C-alpha cells in the first residue's frame, strides 16, 4: 500500500496534533493516528475527552497506522521537502500482525514499525445541532482572561460547572464559588449555553487569528477551519446563572492602581508565612495581614472608599487584579452588606472580575 503527500505539510500537521499529547501510561494515547483515505490524509491525536485532527490532500491507496513518538519523528523529518512517499507492508495475522512503514523524500529515507491503527480509541458518534462562527484568537483571549476563576477538577465535585469555562449568550465566564471572572462580547450571541474544560479550550490557539465554525451537539462540540478540527466533550450539568450573582447596588466605588495593589499584596504574601490561604483586611486603603501572632500592614491609594472595610483572600484578590494588570486604573465596586462581592472593571473593557469577601473576625482591625 502506497501514498504520496507534501512533506512539509505532513510534518507541520504532525507537529500540530502532537501538541495535544500529554505523557500517558497508555501507549496509544502517546501516538498519532495517520489515515490515508479517498485522496486525503488525516492525522489525529486524543486524550479520550478531546480529539485534534488535521486533514491534508494526498494521493494513493487507503491504509492507516498509529505513529508512536510523533514529536521525535516530526523533528527528524523537518528537513524533508517536496514529495513524501509512504509504503506500508504487513506481516502475520491476529496477535502476530505487524506493520512496517517505509518513508522516502529525496535522498532521505526511514523505516518505522508503527502500532496497529485499530488500537486507537474510536472517536465518538455525535450530531451537531447548533453552530456559530467566531474569531478563534478573540475567543481564545476571552477564555484566557477568565479561566483562572475555574477550580481545579475533582472527581468528588458534584458541581462540574465550578471547574469549567462557561458560555451563555454573549458571555464567557468561570466561577468556583469564591470568585468569578466574566467577559462580554455584544457582537457574539451563542445559540445555546454550554461549558467546556479549560484544557480543551487551550487548543483554540492553534487556529490563530481566523474565523472558525463552532458546532454544538448534545455531548460534544467541534471547532474547525476546514483543515484543523478540535472535537471535545461537553460536560453535563447546570450552568451557573451569571446575572444572578451581579449586585444591583454598591456601598462604594473606588479607583485603584492594579500595579500598586499587586505590589503591596506581594509584600504581604512574602511576609505572611505558611501555605494556608491568607486573609487580609482592607480598611479605607490600609491593608493588614496576620500570621502566628505577627502583623504586617501597608497602604494603597484608593480614592472613594474612606469608610469601606472588608476582608479578602489574598491569592484570589491578586488573581482578580492580574486580570487588569496592564491598566493604569480600575474601578473597585464594593457591594452593600458585609458579605457582598467586590467587583473590578476597567474603562473601555468588557471583562469583569469578582471576589467574595471573607468574614472580618479572621483578621484584627487595622490601626
Report phi then psi at 314, rounded to 5: -60, -45
- In the chain, the domains with their CATH numbers are 2-119 (3.10.150.10), 130-243 (3.10.150.10), 246-362 (3.70.10.10)
Supply the pLDDT for residue 367: 44
Instruction: Give the whole-angstrom CA distance, residue 332 versus residue 345.
Output: 7
The pLDDT, as a whole number, for residue 362 is 53
Q: Residue 334: beta bridge partners? A: 252, 342
Q: What is the pTM of this model?
A: 0.89
Cα–Cα dist 11/172, whole Å:
34
Residues in the chain: 367
Burial class for 216, CB neighbours closer than 10 Å (0-12, 13-18, 19+):
buried
Q: Which residues of 276-285 are buried (b: 16+ CB within 10 A; e: fewer)?
A: eebbbbbbeb
Cβ atoms of 116 and 92 within 8 Å: the answer is: no
**Angle at CA of residue 202, ends 199 and 205, nearest 5°:** 165
Splitting the chain (367 residues) into consecutive groups of 10 residues, what average pLDDT does each group show?
Answer: 96 94 86 96 94 97 94 93 95 87 94 93 93 97 97 80 95 95 95 95 95 97 97 93 88 94 96 87 94 92 88 96 96 84 96 92 56
Among the residues of 121-163, which ranges form H helices? 136-146
Amino acid at each position: 500500500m502506497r501514498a504520496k503527500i507534501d512533506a512539509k505539510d505532513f510534518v507541520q500537521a504532525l507537529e500540530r496534533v502532537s501538541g495535544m499529547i500529554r505523557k500517558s501510561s497508555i501507549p496509544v494515547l502517546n501516538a498519532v493516528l495517520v489515515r490515508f483515505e479517498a485522496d486525503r490524509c488525516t492525522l489525529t491525536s486524543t486524550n479520550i475527552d478531546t480529539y485534534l485532527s488535521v486533514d491534508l490532500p494526498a494521493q494513493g491507496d487507503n491504509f492507516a497506522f498509529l505513529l508512536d513518538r510523533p514529536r521525535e519523528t516530526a523533528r527528524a523529518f523537518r528537513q524533508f521537502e517536496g514529495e513524501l512517499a509512504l509504503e506500508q507492508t504487513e506481516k502475520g495475522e491476529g496477535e502476530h500482525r505487524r506493520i512496517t512503514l517505509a518513508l522516502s523524500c529525496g535522498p532521505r529515507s526511514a523505516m518505522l514499525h508503527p502500532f496497529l491503527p485499530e488500537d486507537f480509541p474510536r472517536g465518538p458518534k455525535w450530531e451537531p445541532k447548533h453552530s456559530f462562527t467566531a474569531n478563534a484568537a478573540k475567543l481564545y483571549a476571552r477564555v484566557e482572561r477568565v479561566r483562572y476563576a475555574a477550580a481545579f477538577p475533582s472527581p468528588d465535585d458534584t458541581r462540574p460547572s465550578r471547574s469549567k469555562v462557561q458560555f451563555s449568550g454573549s458571555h464567557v465566564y468561570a466561577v468556583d464559588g469564591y470568585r468569578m471572572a466574566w467577559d462580554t462580547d455584544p457582537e457574539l450571541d451563542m445559540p445555546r449555553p454550554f461549558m467546556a474544560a479549560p484544557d480543551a479550550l487551550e487548543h483554540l490557539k492553534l487556529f490563530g487569528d481566523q474565523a472558525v465554525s463552532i458546532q454544538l451537539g448534545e455531548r460534544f462540540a467541534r471547532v474547525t477551519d476546514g483543515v484543523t478540527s478540535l472535537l471535545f466533550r461537553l460536560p453535563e450539568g447546570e450552568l451557573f446563572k451569571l446575572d444572578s450573582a451581579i449586585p444591583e447596588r454598591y456601598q462604594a466605588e473606588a479607583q485603584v492602581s492594579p500595579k500598586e495593589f499587586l505590589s503591596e499584596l506581594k509584600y504581604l504574601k512574602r511576609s505572611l508565612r505558611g501555605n494556608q490561604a491568607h486573609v487580609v483586611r482592607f480598611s479605607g486603603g490600609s491593608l493588614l495581614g496576620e500570621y502566628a501572632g505577627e502583623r504586617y500592614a501597608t497602604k494603597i491609594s484608593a480614592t472613594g472608599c474612606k469608610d469601606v472595610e472588608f476582608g479578602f483572600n489574598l491569592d484570589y484578590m491578586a488573581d482578580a487584579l492580574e486580570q487588569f494588570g496592564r491598566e493604569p486604573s480600575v474601578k473597585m465596586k464594593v457591594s452593600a452588606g458585609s458579605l457582598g462581592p467586590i467587583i473590578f472593571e476597567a474603562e473601555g473593557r468588557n471583562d469583569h472580575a469578582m471576589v467574595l469577601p471573607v468574614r472580618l473576625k479572621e483578621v484584627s482591625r487595622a490601626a
